[in-house]
């Protein structure tokens, strides 16, 4: 069976954009591949190293959210419970040119637009090397990514090829498994992201969902209720297409184009659809607890370590260790 690897950082509340952009694909593919899905707590320290006291709580919240969304506990584990990730990261850092890391778009962008000194560390610069180790340690065949993440995977492939050139083909070169879900707009119309503070967390109660969506941006050309709207450029309508029924979504679009419905009423219907979609997930989430999943996480980490150790022994032999 082909191997799939993916991870997610525990740096905040899981939101709808995370689910539609990544987690829904984990659920979709976890039974079609030999899957290894991890909570990237090493990676989280690139931004949380000064104040890690809440990291454990963030990790466990994320685990419980993922399980409530349908991720199989047998394939889920903490990155730090498999120290082979860190050791392979060290070994790969010996052969990765500094210039490759300095040209990574997210690294350059973060340095240019942030004065926060936590990003002026090797951990942040070397993030792609650890990311490469995360993938190669399991000999991944595929990594599920959106098109905007392809440059990051290509760097991992470059590091893999450099290793092969120096030591031989001990690693598989991973391929991208493109995810085609639409990018969910945030409350301000930009891509939903914790860094933009424009998210709807998965565990948001209906009253807060209503409040958040009430303040969403809409069709900028529709100033008055009597103005015909253009649903295709309205962020709220993107939610209707995902969370409302097909018939309701089509009816909303038709009413908007004829100015038969205003943005306030449209948003109320949208908020109701989102809350209805989240209700079973939230119910399942409330039934879960940290104590119920700890043993399973440890067993999953053992499974991951067994595979990672095999890879690492071969790599250390290649490198004369």
One domain, residues 156 and 214: no
What torsion, rounded to 10 degrees, do the Cα atoms 290, 63, 10, 217 define?
A: -120
Regarding whether 307 and 235 lie in a shared domain, the answer is no
- Asked if residue 219 and residue 118 are part of one domain, the reply reads no
Is residue 44 a contact partner of residue 55, using CB atoms and an 8 Å limit? yes
End-to-end C-alpha distance for the chain, whole angstroms: 31
Task: Based on the fold, state whether residues 138 and 231 are members of the same structural domain.
Answer: no
Are residues 223 and 296 both part of a single domain? Answer: no
- The residue-averaged pLDDT of 122-127 equals 87
CB–CB of 79/39 below 8 Å?
yes
Of 219 and 116, which is predicted with more confidence? 219
Alpha-carbon gap, residue 196 to 180, rounded angstroms: 22
Report the percent of the chain where pLDDT is more than 90: 72
CA–CA dist 202, 78 (Å, integer): 21
Same domain, 13 and 125: yes
- Give the pLDDT confidence of 3-15 residue by residue, as tens digits: 999 999 998 889 9
Q: What is the largest CA-CA distance in the chain?
A: 75
Q: Within this chain, do residues 298 and 259 fall inside the same structural domain, yes or no? A: no
Q: Is-contact 41 59, C-beta < 8 A?
A: yes
- The average pLDDT across 224-234 equals 88
* Residues 92-108, mean pLDDT to the nearest whole number: 86
Average pLDDT, the chain: 91
Q: What is the C-alpha separation between 192 and 183, in angstroms, rounded? A: 8
Residue 152 sits in the same domain as residue 217:
no
196 belongs to a structural domain: no
Q: How much is the average pLDDT of 157-161?
A: 97
Q: Give, for 6, the enclosing helix (H) or strand (E).
A: strand 3-8
pLDDT of residue 125: 87
Q: Is residue 197 part of a domain?
A: no
Give 86: exposed, middle or buried? Use CB within 10 Å, 0-12, 13-18, 19+.
middle
The two structure tokens encoding residue 215? 């303040």
pLDDT of residue 300: 97
What is the average pLDDT across 255-281? 94
Q: Give the pLDDT mean for 188-201.
A: 89
Query: Which of residues 233 and 195 earns the better pLDDT score?
Result: 233
Region 264-271 average pLDDT: 94
Q: Report the pLDDT value the prediction gives residue 123, as an integer from 0 to 100.
A: 83
Question: H helices then E strands: how many in the chain?
Answer: 15, 5
Asked whether residue 199 is domain-assigned, the answer is no
Read off the tokens for 271. 């908020």
**Segment 53-71 mean pLDDT:** 94
The pTM of the full predicted model, rounded to 2 decimals, is: 0.90
What's the total number of domains in the chain? 2
In a domain, 103, yes or no: yes
pLDDT at position 72? 95
Residues 169 and 224 in one domain: no
Domain presence at residue 189: no
Q: Quick check: helix, strand or coil at residue 138?
A: coil
The answer, yes or no, to whether residue 109 has pLDDT greater than 70, is no
Domain that holds residue 33: 3-184+292-318
Tokens of 237: 């309508």
Name which of 13-27, 31-45, 103-117, 135-149 the model is least confident about: 103-117
pLDDT at 320 over 80: yes
- Indicate whether 246 pLDDT > 80: yes
Q: Pull the structure tokens for residue 242.
A: 């995902």
137 pLDDT above the threshold of 70: yes
Residue 313 within any structural domain of the chain: yes
Same domain, 141 and 20: yes
Domain CATH code at residue 49: 3.40.50.620
Residue 165 pLDDT = 96
With residue 153 as reference, give the H or E element that holds it. helix 150-167
Q: What's the pLDDT tens digit per position in 167-183?
A: 999 999 999 998 766 67
Q: Which of 67-71, 118-122, 307-311 has the lowest mean pLDDT?
A: 118-122
pLDDT, residue 114, reads: 61
**pLDDT confidence of 299, banded at 50, 70, 90?**
very high
Q: State the Cα torsion 103-104-107-112 to the nearest 10°.
A: 50
pLDDT at 67: 96
Q: 21 and 47 in one domain?
A: yes
Say yes or no: 250 and 107 in one domain: no
Question: What pLDDT does residue 168 have?
Answer: 93
Q: Residue 81: which pLDDT band, with cuts at 50, 70 and 90? A: very high
CATH code: domain of residue 251: 1.10.240.10
- Calculate mean pLDDT across residues 130-157: 91
* 173 domain-assigned: yes
The answer as to whether 192 is a domain residue is: no
pLDDT at residue 107, rounded to an integer = 65
């Amino acid at each position: 069976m082909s191997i799939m690897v993916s991870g997610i950082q525990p740096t905040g509340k899981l939101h709808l954009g995370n689910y539609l952009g990544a987690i829904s694909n984990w659920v979709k593919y976890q039974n079609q591949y030999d899957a290894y899905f991890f909570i990237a707590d090493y990676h989280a320290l690139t931004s949380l190293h000064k104040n890690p006291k809440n990291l454990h709580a963030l990790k466990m919240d994320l685990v419980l959210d993922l399980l409530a969304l349908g991720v199989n506990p047998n394939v889920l584990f903490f990155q730090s419970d498999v120290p082979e990730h860190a050791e392979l990261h060290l070994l790969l850092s010996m052969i990765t040119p500094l210039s490759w890391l300095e040209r990574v778009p997210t690294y350059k962008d973060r340095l240019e637009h942030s004065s926060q000194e936590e990003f002026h560390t090797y951990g942040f610069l070397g993030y792609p090397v650890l990311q490469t180790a995360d993938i190669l340690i399991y000999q991944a065949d595929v990594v599920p990514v959106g098109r905007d993440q392809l440059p990051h995977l290509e760097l991992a492939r470059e590091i893999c090829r450099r290793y092969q050139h120096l030591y031989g083909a001990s690693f598989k070169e991973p391929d991208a498994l493109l995810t085609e879900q639409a990018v969910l707009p945030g409350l301000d119309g930009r891509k939903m992201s914790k860094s933009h503070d424009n998210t709807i967390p998965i565990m948001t109660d209906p009253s807060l969902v209503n409040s958040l969506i009430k303040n969403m941006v809409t069709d900028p050309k529709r100033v008055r209720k009597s103005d015909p709207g253009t649903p295709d450029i309205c962020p709220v309508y993107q939610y209707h297409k995902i969370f409302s029924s097909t018939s309701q979504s089509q009816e909303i679009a038709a009413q908007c184009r004829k100015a038969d419905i205003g943005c306030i009423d449209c948003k109320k219907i949208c908020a109701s659809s989102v809350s209805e979609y989240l209700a079973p997930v939230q119910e399942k989430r409330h039934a879960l607890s940290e104590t119920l999943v700890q043993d399973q996480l440890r067993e999953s980490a053992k499974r991951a370590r067994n595979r990672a150790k095999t890879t690492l022994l071969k790599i250390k032999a290649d490198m004369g260790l």
